[in-house]
Homo-oligomer: A and B are copies of this chain.
């Protein structure tokens, strides 16, 4: 299944043949079909088993903390980790885009994953707003979409151009930019931020 995830992440679902996965795993096609009903079963098993596990790990590793800004940093760190040591993040992005109009069921699965991610990030922003460390005139849902988008955008560019886009540096800069935007005191219109503002 690790071989499958790697192949799917790099070549896409349609670009990966069962035989290729089998060879990468050091077995033959028959072995694959012994463990999985068909190609789609292998795909979904990979998504639920590994990607679901990764997602859980990321979210759980963060809910412990108190400071919203620090938690945001840890989310980004977790994404960086799973984008570099394994191919889990690229798997999600690649398959997500490929599945859009070709596999409605898988696409719905990824929709749920991204929604959970955004809901989690929105909660994080709400927490920051409650703590007074984040602007209150920003919609948490929208902030979550921007944070998720910034991470995804950084990853996509990194996968496409590893020599020009250093993922670690780009994600750090992304965090900095998000912090500057989310920091209280920069309200454009509406409610002024509450006190205790501090950059970190």
Residues in B whose Cβ lies below 8 Å from that of A187: 180-181, 183, 185-186, 190
Q: Are A156 and B150 in contact (CB under 8 A)?
A: no
Q: Are B10 and A159 in contact (CB under 8 A)?
A: no
A133 to B149, CA, bound (A): 25
Tally of contact residues, A, Cβ under 8 A: 55
- Identify whether the interface residues of A are mostly helix, strand, loop, or mixed: helix
Of A34-42, A49-57, A98-106, A124-132, the one contacting chain B is A98-106
New contact pairs (7) apart from A110-B160, A149-B149, A181-B181, CB-CB < 8 Å: A15-B102, A107-B160, A146-B177, A149-B157, A152-B153, A153-B154, A186-B190
Q: Contact check: which of B11, B96, B114, B153 meets A149 at CB < 8 Å?
A: B153
Q: Mark A167-180, 1 if CB is under 8 A from B, else 0.
A: 00110011011101
Residues in B whose Cβ lies below 8 Å from that of A110: 160
Residues in B whose Cβ lies below 8 Å from that of A189: 186, 188, 190
Does A32 belong to the interface (CB within 8 Å)? Answer: no
Does A21 belong to the interface (CB within 8 Å)? Answer: no
Residues in B whose Cβ lies below 8 Å from that of A180: 180-181, 186-188
**Most chain-B CB neighbours within 10 Å: which of A94, A149, A160, A165?**
A149
Residues in B whose Cβ lies below 8 Å from that of A97: 12, 93-94, 97-98, 156, 159-160
